[in-house]
């Protein structure tokens, strides 16, 4: 390859990289915008009063209109089935996806859980929303003893779709007895800590101003 050809190729690669950064850069979600929190009992707020659920606390912290779309017991497949109607009804600017814990507890095939989580995120993106994915701890013997580790599928999906990921948020809460209502649900203090952690992730990702 000639020096001129090499330079032209390098410029083309840099241009493509710039386009990719612009395409995947997060846009700040303004106060008053609708944000959909999709999930299971941890999103619903089981173990605490309704006003203490993390979507309610996050709304106070950010000024967003956070819709609590958490259904206790929901699997990733059930959340995926609910999503189209929720997107049509609320037209959110941002979707926070926190699902999969019940899949792990029921020992459903991990490949199906991953496919469902990815499909949820893709549907939200295709509807014009941004997505913030929340990692959920894997169900292990050590998790029952308070040693929580995020399931790797969440980092894989976030990397593939180029979306921000909330890491260790639930693990840090559920590992502490003083932040839990029971072994798998937070109490009011736990949900408040998770909401603050999620707020920090949103700021770091460019979804929320400092």
Could you list the active site residues? 41, 182, 185
Q: List the one residue out of 205, 202, 75, 204 whose CA is nearest residue 136.
A: 75
Is 44 buried (19+), middle (13-18) or exposed (0-12) by CB count in 10 A? buried
- Close Cβ partners of 110 (under 8 Å, ≥ 6 residues apart): 103, 151, 153
Using CA of residue 194, residue 197, residue 203, residue 206, what is the dihedral sign? Answer: negative
CA 14 to CA 108: how far, in whole Å? 43
130: which strand partners? 94
The DSSP code sequence of 163-176 is --EE-SHHHHHHT-
- Close Cβ partners of 87 (under 8 Å, ≥ 6 residues apart): 36, 95, 123, 124, 127, 129
CA 93 and chain centroid, separation: 14
């Amino acid at each position: 390859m000639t020096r001129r050809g090499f330079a032209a190729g390098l410029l083309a690669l840099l241009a493509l990289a710039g386009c990719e950064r612009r395409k995947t850069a997060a846009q700040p979600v303004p106060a008053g915008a609708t944000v959909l929190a999709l999930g299971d009992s941890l999103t619903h707020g089981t173990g605490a009063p309704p006003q203490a659920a993390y979507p309610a606390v996050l709304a106070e912290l950010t000024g967003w209109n956070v819709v609590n779309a958490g259904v206790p017991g929901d699997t990733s497949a059930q959340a995926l089935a609910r999503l189209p109607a929720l997107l049509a009804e609320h037209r959110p600017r941002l979707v926070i996806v926190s699902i999969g814990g019940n899949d792990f507890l029921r020992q459903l095939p991990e490949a199906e859980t991953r496919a469902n989580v990815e499909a949820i995120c893709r549907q939200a993106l295709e509807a014009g929303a941004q997505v913030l994915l929340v990692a959920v701890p894997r169900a292990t013997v050590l998790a029952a003893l308070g040693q929580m580790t995020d399931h790797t599928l969440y980092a894989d999906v976030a990397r593939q779709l180029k979306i921000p990921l909330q890491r260790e948020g639930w693990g840090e809460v559920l590992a502490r007895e003083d932040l839990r209502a029971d072994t798998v649900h937070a109490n009011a203090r736990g949900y408040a800590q998770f909401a603050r952690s999620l707020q920090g992730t949103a700021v770091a990702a460019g979804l929320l101003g400092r």
